[in-house]
Structure 1
Amino acid sequence: MNSTPEQDPAQAEWDRTTALDAGVDPDDLDPATASAGDSTPVPVDDDEIPAADLPPADAQPETEGHTPVVAELGEDGEGDLAPEDI
């Protein structure tokens, strides 16, 4: 069975190694693509998150902004658990 490099990654690696051993320039084996692996972000004018996509202010937990003691015990010092949660 003859396999092509497109079908067999091991064959593609073997062919690449053989070509490098024969003196082929690595740039010829790995041509640049449109993505080119460049992770530098391209700045855009609308780089902000649209307000419509942000969670509403009332979506925060009830304890948001309270001290940790109040958040843990609740305003009455009884905790945030309802009797059915116990």
Structure 2
Amino acid sequence: MWLDEANKTPEFEPVGTHPGYRRPGLGRAMLLHGTHPARAAGATCMTVACLGAPGHPEARGLYRSVGFRKSCSFIRS
């Protein structure tokens, strides 16, 4: 996770767990743990990079389980 200081939005890079260690809640715990310093820094919105999500429903499920929702933003010039 890294914090964009300009807009106070942290970004979680793709988060994953080795297949042999999935399902006991390690990825969820890591994501939830990362939200605490982000909120302390003033973040009200967080971003997770979920590239290739249609091919990885487990990843979508993990991100949604901690409160992330699908959102797309476009900058218009």
Same fold (TM over 0.5): no
Name the one with the larger strand percent. 2
Using the size of structure 1 for normalisation, the TM-score is: 0.24
Using the size of structure 2 for normalisation, the TM-score is: 0.26
The structure with higher relative contact order (CA 8 Å, sep 6+) is 2
